[in-house]
Structure 1
Amino acid sequence: MADQSVFRITKELSELQKNSDLSLAVACRDIDVRNVKALIIGPHETPYEFGFFEFAFKFNKDYPRKSPQVTAITTNGGRCRFNPNIYANGRVCLSILGTWRGERGEEWSAVQGLESILLSIQSLMSANPYENEPGFEDANDPSDQKNQKDYIQKIRHETLRISVIQRLEDYLKIGPDGTVPAPVAAKDEYDLDMDNIEDESSVPFEPFKDLCKRRFLWYYDSYLAAVQKGKEEIKDGSPFARMPFEGTSNTMEGKFNYSELERRLQNIKKALDAETEAWETEGLEAKAKESTVAVNLRRQFEQIVESFNRSGVPHNLELVEGNPFVWVLTYFGKPMTNLDGGLFRIKLCFSPRFPEEQPRIKFETRLFHHRIAADGTPCYVVPMSRREDVKTHIEAVIEALEEEQPPYDPRTLVYPEAFKLYWGSPEDRRMYNRRLRRSVQQSMEE
């Protein structure tokens, strides 16, 4: 039974890691598949939008006959209840987990699994979570309507403050004032010799660190837009309203301070940009030492250049000052499309910890495009199995750029203004095309 349980968990983890769902991620230590960490990215057009919510899954040997234990980790140290069904102590109330009474047929069954639990939790993160509390599903009383609005406001604020800002500040080791520690301290963390560590469990397991950093760069403008909306709707210093269903130790207390959140978001962006720049210097040091990563990147660079030459691809690829950790791709716009005639410089920066830290790619030539953030960060996806292959990254960026009939996906909302026009009315789309063509023409003039 135990072996069957491990096989089932491993299979589910593999399937989840293979799919392209941009809002779910799972990971575990190789030595312990029964303890799984999961990340849910808050859905679009909810107060949880693009927040990073972490959960711990503990599978016993009776799985899948019995459901796993699930604990919410993103609770600000047990001080924040993010939902009527997600308690400050980490309890997740779901009928399929046996932690809440459900209707007949809603209880756990062996056909369910990790993904179905994650999707059930994600469904709790709705546009109006106030209605998740039993007895408040059809709250139409004026006081309840005010509570709904107040509840949405404080969840939006705390999603930004706790799930995004505190998480990224912790990853970057910066304080609320943006103070950055000496580079050596950050570097030492990665210099741990795993071969000499007897107990791997003593090493902090943070599988979503790089993912959250990259997604922060995707959603940065959306976070700022949420802050702006909050500043327009509520005054800094206003206290959170307590909801009727919140208890003394199971609540969300605090005060609004969107101005401070804005400053902290900006500090995180600066720190991430500085970290990317530091990779260039670290890369030169790694090149001098002929590190494995440096040799690997140099070899991949040469293979991709050769592949371009063989296939007649017009794009040009070069290293910046011979540094294998900094590449520049010159992309030529695809003929007979809105990109036709464009000439775009794209910079690829690699970490000495590649592929654990994925490349940071940025369009240095400005392009008005719904898959490219205002700062030039492209929104693209590569399969887990191909994340070590730089050619796959380049092809994925170009595919996102050239895709003519992409499916609507709000998880790719990285440039709010362009995204809104692209998916708006026919007149909006025409405006989008005009602005895209204008940026293409300007690329030829630079």
Structure 2
Amino acid sequence: MSDQAILRITREIKQIQQGTDLSLAVACQESDIRNVKALIVGPPESPYEFGFFEFSIKFPKDYPASPPNVKATTTNGGRCRFNPNIYAGGKVCLSILGTWRGESGEQWSSAQGLESILISIQSLMSANPYENEPGFENAKSSADKKYMAQYVAKIRHETLRVAVIQPLEESLGIQSDGTVLPPTGEYGSDEDEDSEPLFGDDKVPFEPFNDLRKRRFLWYYESYMQAIDAAEPNVQPKQAFERMPFEGGGNSMDGHFDYPELKRRMIFIKETIANETKNWAIEGLAAKEQEAGIAVNLQRQHEQIVEDLKHKKNFTVDLVIVDGNPFVWELTYFGRPMTHLDGGIFKIRIALSPRFPDEQPRVFVETPLFHHRVSKDGVLCYFPQRSDEMKYHVEAIVEALEEESPPYDPRTTVNPEATKLFWGSPEDKKKYNRALRRSVERSTEEAFA
């Protein structure tokens, strides 16, 4: 592969990584830039909503003269066809990839790139994926309409089971019998000091999206549970999936509905992530005792942030390290005057991993707050400008709380009830503001109780 092609691939990867599209993520190993992993988060208001769909992408030596080879890997081991154009075997049928006949002008050109490919795949994940099947424009009978509804129903179920639950269970070590494998990490493991490290290209598979899935799961947990509650009454327990006319020959989505089981597994995943987060603090103390570089680094970052807050005379934020553990921070936010949070006092816990920044902080608003960016369990959805320095995380936490006129984006809202009111009618918005003010008033009462 030419140096020019390598530079272009590198640039395209960085553009997505540094972009603002919350639905796309890409990663590769420096030693093998031609092989890229990509993640597409299923679009809101579709049966793919907030599913984690992974793809492997291999660039040819003559790129961009020829398109890359793209293969879907979220297929339940080759047994689940998620779309008329995304096969169980991983084939992605798109004219720009040369895997499907298209109209003139729809074929690959060197002006296209990695992002345009991912956006094209994402466009297949529509509210009615049945329409991607050739000949759909002639599907007008009542039987066809029945198939459309049945197809949406089973995709919604399998999105939760295969594209959310399964990869999270795998990354968390959750076994089929309900047990959880003990964590393996640089700190807090049961390994001998002389044992070999648990990482390296020849030891651990390249799984760059594990942390992203966990954080997003905490954000979207309530949406997942609402989807289960809405769909469960419409099917019978163990009801078999309806096979579509275009499915067959090992290229289908077969199975049955079992929403009670999905709900049970969702709840257990949430509990396991909570335990993993608690374990970070234990690992963190071990790292501090060993005077590990990450512990020293986080301690220094905390001191610099505190000094900067004093220098700027920022009286809305107080930041302390809890019990001398540099992996557990407590941020007290004092509501800024002339805002809806004016007068409020909110305790916010920042849990940090000994593998920061590869694993990002998990932030919990411990003082109850009715806010579209705060889940009912207190999980805060926020976006730092840079993920590798804690000062950007602290700034983004405050910005997320104070933002009063954000654009509507379902991917950034983690409290469905608050979201519905915030972007509803003028009367709904008044209800939202009243609920927010009540939580602000209660926060003050609790602080001085």
Q: What interval of TM-score do these two structures reach, taking the shorter chain for normalisation?
A: over 0.9
What amino acid does structure 1 have at the position aligned with 2:431?
M
Match of 1:15 in 2: 15
Match of 1:345 in 2: 347
Q: Answer yes or no: is the 8 Å Cα contact 1:176–1:264 preserved in 2.
A: no
Match of 1:72 in 2: 72
Match of 2:320 in 1: 318
Q: Deviations over 1:8-44 (max 9, x none)?
A: 1001001111112110000000111100000000000
- Match of 1:47, SS? coil
Could you tell me how far apart the structure 2 residues matched to 1:155 and 1:23 are? Answer: 19
- Match of 1:54, SS? strand
Match of 2:280 in 1: 279
- Match of 2:137, SS? coil
Q: Answer yes or no: is the 8 Å Cα contact 2:173–2:182 preserved in 1.
A: no
Query: CA offset at residue 182 of structure 1?
Result: 3.0
Q: Answer yes or no: is the 8 Å Cα contact 2:65–2:110 preserved in 1.
A: yes
Q: Does 1:147 align with 2:132?
A: no
Match of 2:358 among 334, 356, 359: 356
- Match of 1:244, SS? coil
Query: CA offset at residue 281 of structure 1?
Result: 1.0
Q: Does 1:401 align with 2:412?
A: no
| Cα 1:368–1:19 shift into 2, 3 Å | same
Query: CA offset at residue 353 of structure 1?
Result: 0.8
Match of 1:331 in 2: 333
Could you tell me how far apart the structure 2 residues matched to 1:198 and 1:350 are? Answer: 20
What amino acid does structure 1 have at the position aligned with 2:381?
C
- Match of 1:33, SS? coil
Could you tell me how far apart the structure 2 residues matched to 1:288 and 1:197 are? Answer: 21
| Cα 1:362–1:208 shift into 2, 3 Å | same
Could you tell me how far apart the structure 2 residues matched to 1:343 and 1:196 are? Answer: 44
Q: Answer yes or no: is the 8 Å Cα contact 2:375–2:414 preserved in 1.
A: yes
What amino acid does structure 2 have at the position aligned with 1:246?
E
Query: CA offset at residue 195 of structure 1?
Result: 10
- Match of 1:40, SS? strand
Query: CA offset at residue 194 of structure 1?
Result: 13
Match of 1:53 in 2: 53
Match of 1:251 in 2: 252
Structure-2-length-normalised TM-score? 0.95
- Match of 1:32, SS? coil
Could you tell me how far apart the structure 1 residues matched to 2:223 and 2:199 are? Answer: 43
Query: CA offset at residue 139 of structure 1?
Result: 2.0
Equivalent residue runs for 1:404-443 within 5 Å:
404-443=404-443
Q: Deviations over 1:150-194 (max 9, x none)?
A: 100000000000010001000000124542223458965999999
- Match of 1:53, SS? strand
Match of 1:133 in 2: 133
Query: CA offset at residue 200 of structure 1?
Result: 2.3
Q: Answer yes or no: is the 8 Å Cα contact 1:178–1:268 preserved in 2.
A: no
What amino acid does structure 1 have at the position aligned with 2:375?
A
Query: CA offset at residue 387 of structure 1?
Result: 1.2
| Cα 1:199–1:427 shift into 2, 3 Å | closer
What amino acid does structure 1 have at the position aligned with 2:343?
G
Query: CA offset at residue 278 of structure 1?
Result: 0.7
| Cα 1:234–1:193 shift into 2, 3 Å | farther
What amino acid does structure 2 have at the position aligned with 1:236?
P
| Cα 1:26–1:103 shift into 2, 3 Å | same
Equivalent residue runs for 1:31-430 within 5 Å:
31-176=31-176, 178-183=178-183, 200-314=201-315, 315-383=317-385, 386-430=386-430
Could you tell me how far apart the structure 2 residues matched to 1:412 and 1:164 are? Answer: 18
- Match of 1:36, SS? strand
| Cα 1:25–1:241 shift into 2, 3 Å | same
- Match of 1:346, SS? strand
Could you tell me how far apart the structure 2 residues matched to 1:199 and 1:417 are? Answer: 44
Q: Answer yes or no: is the 8 Å Cα contact 1:177–1:264 preserved in 2.
A: no
Q: Answer yes or no: is the 8 Å Cα contact 2:384–2:395 preserved in 1.
A: no
What amino acid does structure 2 have at the position aligned with 1:217?
L
- Match of 1:329, SS? strand
Could you tell me how far apart the structure 1 residues matched to 2:395 and 2:19 are? Answer: 18
What amino acid does structure 2 have at the position aligned with 1:382?
P
| Cα 1:194–1:85 shift into 2, 3 Å | farther
The count of corresponding residues between Structure 1 and Structure 2 is 444
- Match of 2:347, SS? strand
Structure-1-length-normalised TM-score? 0.96
Q: Deviations over 1:215-254 (max 9, x none)?
A: 0000000000111011121122100000000013000010
Q: Deviations over 1:422-442 (max 9, x none)?
A: 111111111111101111111
Q: Answer yes or no: is the 8 Å Cα contact 1:330–1:344 preserved in 2.
A: yes
Q: Answer yes or no: is the 8 Å Cα contact 2:86–2:92 preserved in 1.
A: yes
CA RMSD of aligned residues (A): 2.0
Query: CA offset at residue 311 of structure 1?
Result: 1.0
- Match of 1:296, SS? helix
What amino acid does structure 2 have at the position aligned with 1:372?
V
**Identity, % of aligned pairs?**
60
| Cα 1:198–1:388 shift into 2, 3 Å | closer
Q: Which has the higher contact order (CA 8 A, sep 6+)?
A: 1
Query: CA offset at residue 203 of structure 1?
Result: 2.8
Q: Answer yes or no: is the 8 Å Cα contact 1:169–1:176 preserved in 2.
A: no
Q: Deviations over 1:108-157 (max 9, x none)?
A: 00000000000000000000001100012352211111111110000000
- Match of 1:361, SS? strand
Could you tell me how far apart the structure 2 residues matched to 1:411 and 1:192 are? Answer: 43
Q: Answer yes or no: is the 8 Å Cα contact 2:327–2:352 preserved in 1.
A: yes
Could you tell me how far apart the structure 1 residues matched to 2:184 and 2:61 are? Answer: 43
Query: CA offset at residue 199 of structure 1?
Result: 6.9
| Cα 1:157–1:193 shift into 2, 3 Å | farther
Question: Where do 5+ consecutive residues of structure 2 fail to align?
Answer: none
Question: Where do 5+ consecutive residues of structure 1 fail to align?
Answer: none
Could you tell me how far apart the structure 2 residues matched to 1:325 and 1:242 are? Answer: 50
What amino acid does structure 2 have at the position aligned with 1:407?
P
Could you tell me how far apart the structure 1 residues matched to 2:86 and 2:428 are? Answer: 39
